[in-house]
Amino acid sequence: MKKKSIAIFAAALAIGLVLLWLLQMLLVPKYMTDVREGALIAEYYEEEPNHDVVFIGDCEVYENFSPITLWEEYGITSYIRGSAQQLIWQSYYLMEETFKYETPDVIVFNVLSMKYDTPKSTGSSSQREAYNRMTLDGMRWSDSKVNSILASMTQEEREKEAMWMYLFPLLRYHDRWSELTAEDFRYWLKRDTVSHNGYLMQVGVKPLEDEHVERPLVDYEFAPSCYEYLDRMVELCKAHGTQLVLIKAPSLSPVWWDEWDQQMVAYAEENDLLYINFLNHQEEIGIDWNTDTYDTGLHLNVYGAEKLSSYFGRILSEECGVADRRSDAGLSALWAEKTAAYDAQKAELEAAYAAQK
Amino acid sequence: MQFTSFSFLLFAAVLLTVYYIIPGKWQWPLLLIASCFFYISAGTEYLVFIALTTLSTYATTILMDNRLKQRDVYMAAHKAEMSREEKKAYKAKIKSGNKVWMVACLVLNFGILALCKACLIDPVRTAVSGGTLSFLTVGLPLGISFYMFQSMGYVVDVYRETAKTERNPFKLALFVSFFPQLIQGPISKFNQLTPTLYAPHKFDGKAVSFGLQRMLWGYFKKLVVADRIAVAIGSLKGEEYTGIAFLVLTVFYAIQIYGDFTGGIDVTIGLAEAMGIKLPENFIRPYFSKNIAEYWRRWHISLGVWMKDCIFYPISVSEPMRKLSKASRAKFPNFGKRVPVYVASVATWFCTGIWHGFSANFIVWGMLNCFVIVVSEELMPVYAKFHDRFHLKEKKWYGGFEILRMFMLMNLIRACDLFPNVGDYFRRLGSIVTTFNFHILWDGTLMNIGLTALDYAIIFGGCLTWFVMDLLQEKGPIRERLYAKPAALRYSLIFILLVVVLLMGSYGIGYDASNFIYNQF
Amino acid sequence: MEALLNILSELHPEVDFETCTTLIDDKILDSFDIVTLVAEIDAEYDVAIPAEELVPENFNSAQALYALIEKLLDE
């Protein structure tokens, strides 16, 4: 009798846990048709981890660089570990995690996030719980993820012990049951790939109209905590024999102040790093702000991204010595597939965009 | 650690596991350690308060007990040579000595409590915070009103020789600080709580399961209903909501405070039950009462019992009362014999009001309760005649009417504690008979107080479930009846309840979980 | 005993006090009744029942109550 009731209990517990897991899978946001950038981080794990170059950073990397172009023109294999409003400590832990899977020749980090202070300090309007989730939920569990969560939590998340909500996303998204859509059921247990090695394609065109104007700041000095994470990135790359390249994408907004640029130039010199501010190379890249942006200069569209990648690819192969892998038959076949998917989506999106117009 | 926090659930889970792994004789020390941990996690600065209460309680009760023991030894030894009068005088001497100790202990502890409560009021806070006691002004030490009353109840019981004296200071410390009841009671009596509190308990699947079920039910009431409706109460307190809107507020508040308080108590009693410890019930479905007096025998029972034993009875049978009673009986034979009852009632309700907070509205609230109870008592014969005349007691609907009447009346009285300014309360109360704004029920006003249609649906569904459960419970213990059902049904129902709490509870990002209301007392 | 029963039935004419042993447990007597009773008993027997004796065991039945009065008279 006793044995029987224990068996029943165990069975009930197992069924209950499976049901709760299914419920959780149903309730988490899918990021498949809307806010697709939320799906980026998780896609990395589908990849064979053997990239020559890994990009890390916010929307200024995943919207502005196209790994397909880098492959087609320079035979460089690359992946973009980008996410929306990725903050520097999140970038650091993504980098730390990346090294658990692979050791690329070059890691490229976009320095815009130097301007965002840690959540512990006050007045950081950049810190949004929704962005935290998009960067962190996709990561596999490891000490890097835990540390990244601990570094990222907002005041409200800390007060509400959000670590539990990262462990069990059901607790975070429990009230989405009233707003479930067909998308949630369609992608209940599977996901489509939304990116091309981390690149999120946009084909629309919305030209730059007015100069982006921002009010001058009182203090241009980057926060010590941001420098601290940058230092840790430098050390980490050094320890793995990987070259760290700092870049500032040519996005016109948010404004990249000269005072900031000077600090980065000095930092790169001091640490013997390559730092490229693409804003200073717009003409050589050939960016036309009438045709190459989909949101008036905040991000490049696919045409701009291809131009920028073409420009940066030359630097990577000539100055950083990243090898051309096109002679590798296996890789060629793999990338041929990727390129085909890329071209297909580009054609599809262009047709849709034309129809919409 | 809030009952609704994840860390509390983890804490409870770890504790339960360890509790049943270690040998039985280590269980109560474990609970003491857990209680200390629980209390320290709320803030170490408050530890001194609970330590002081524990120490003074221990010292006083041991002193009194020693004197009582001495008395018994002396009486036994001198049984033969003492006359009846001598015996009586000797006993009285010991008793009055004990009384001094008891009163000293009560004055010390209630003095601390009064000081802490007074510091919540602005002028006092300002006056005190300038001095060295500034840490007092942060807030009330966790659960002070509850552990203080429980400890002082025990001191009184030892004085009256109705409770055995606990001579192990650590066991006593556990009685004072037992963590599940620290936040909002119940205020247990020593004789009720300690037999199961100190005893070793073997793992009993049924008891653990019952306890967890009760906790889950508590979370349902708290998270799904009470916390969801809380936002509307904040809005409806606004100036512009008078007349019918005020009535709506009183009903919402009735739902919120009942869910909040009984939900918390269910978590408390359920957790204790899972550890084999039996706590007294604090509520017996009070909204099914037919009058205010009955309501107060079914709502926050442990506080009512405390007030009855330690204030109402002692005052009503005290020597001055005896004299007053005799004098008043001589003058008004009928009403006169009830004078002690009424005087004691006023005192009791004054204390109950003060217990809830050092502000005018709580005292008014207490007096309103007292007034209604006393008037109903005086009008009893009139009611009886009226009932007989129309044979109302035999009519089924009349019981329902009485319950509804009690509910509305109690709601009106209770709303007093929502308004720190008593004037605001009476203005709104008055607006019921001057403002007939029934239109607010359908003109969209109720959609502008922070609740969406979905919220209303959840609250309504939650209340309906709750009402049905209370009806079922009136007929007999639900969990026992469920236990007799097939396992598949049993597990399914519990799982559904769990999912409802998980999905429809107001918790997590975007929700401002309101503290359990009774934390502040 | 007779006098006590009279006092009791004056309070609650509908109850059979000679047989009932659950006056408190079944909530027949409430705290108001008890205090009224104490005053009535004081008037009748000239005995003061102290607060510590106001426990359910002493008030559950007329017999128990009478035993209490006798005990107090005896002291």
pLDDT tens digit sequence for A8-38: 999 999 999 999 999 999 999 999 988 899 9
Q: Chain C contact for B393, CB < 8 A?
A: no
Q: How far is it, in rounded angstroms, from Cα B88 to Cα B86?
A: 5
The amino acid at B222: K
Q: Which pLDDT score, from 0 to 100, does residue B512 have?
A: 55
Q: Which pLDDT score, from 0 to 100, does residue B127 have?
A: 55
Q: The tokens of B301 are what?
A: 């029972």
Q: Chain B contact for A3, CB < 8 A?
A: no
Average pLDDT, chain A: 92
Q: Which pLDDT score, from 0 to 100, does residue A236 have?
A: 97
For B372-386, the pLDDT digits (tens) are 998 888 888 788 888
Mapped onto helix, strand or coil, the DSSP state of residue A199 is strand
| B43-67 mean pLDDT | 92
For A276-306, the pLDDT digits (tens) are 999 999 999 999 999 999 998 899 999 999 9
pLDDT of C8 higher than 90: no
pLDDT of B129 higher than 60: no
| B481-489 mean pLDDT | 90
Output C14 or B365, whichever has higher pLDDT.
B365
What confidence category does residue B142 fall into, taking pLDDT thresholds of 50, 70 and 90? confident
Domain count of chain A? 1
Q: Chain A contact for B381, CB < 8 A?
A: no
Q: The tokens of B333 are what?
A: 């034979």
Q: Chain B contact for A14, CB < 8 A?
A: no
- B29/chain A closest Cα distance in angstroms: 29
Q: Which pLDDT score, from 0 to 100, does residue B336 have?
A: 74
Q: Which domain holds residue A335?
A: 2-356
Q: How far is it, in rounded angstroms, from Cα B261 to Cα B268?
A: 11
Longest dimension (CA), chain C: 34
Chain C residue with minimum CA distance to B84: C75
Residue with tokens 């004296």: B165
Q: Locate the domains of chain C by residue range.
A: 2-74
Question: In CATH, what number is assigned to the domain containing residue A170?
Answer: 3.40.50.1110
Q: Do B6 and A170 touch (CB under 8 A)?
A: no
Contact residues, B window 330-369, toward C, CB-based 8 Å cutoff: 337-338, 340-341, 344
Burial class (CB in 10 A: 0-12, 13-18, 19+), C66: middle
Q: Lowest-confidence range among A48-62, B195-209, C58-72?
A: C58-72
Q: Which pLDDT score, from 0 to 100, does residue B340 have?
A: 82
Output B521 or C18, whichever has higher pLDDT.
C18
What confidence category does residue A173 fall into, taking pLDDT thresholds of 50, 70 and 90? very high
Q: What is the pTM assigned to this prediction?
A: 0.90
| A158-174 mean pLDDT | 93
Q: Do B495 and A161 touch (CB under 8 A)?
A: no
Of A5, A16, A172, the CB nearest to B509: A172
What confidence category does residue A124 fall into, taking pLDDT thresholds of 50, 70 and 90? very low
CA-closest candidate to residue A121, choices A41, A215, A228, A214: A228
Q: Could you tell me where the DSSP H helices lie in B78-168?
A: 84-118, 122-129, 144-159
Domain C2-74: give its CATH superfamily.
Answer: ACP-like (1.10.1200.10)
User: What is the ipTM, given to two decimal places?
Assistant: 0.90
Q: For chain C, what percent of residues have pLDDT higher than 70?
A: 99
Q: Which pLDDT score, from 0 to 100, does residue B133 have?
A: 44
Question: Do A56 and A247 meet the contact criterion of CB atoms below 8 Å apart?
Answer: no
Contacts of A129 in chain B (CB under 8 A): 509
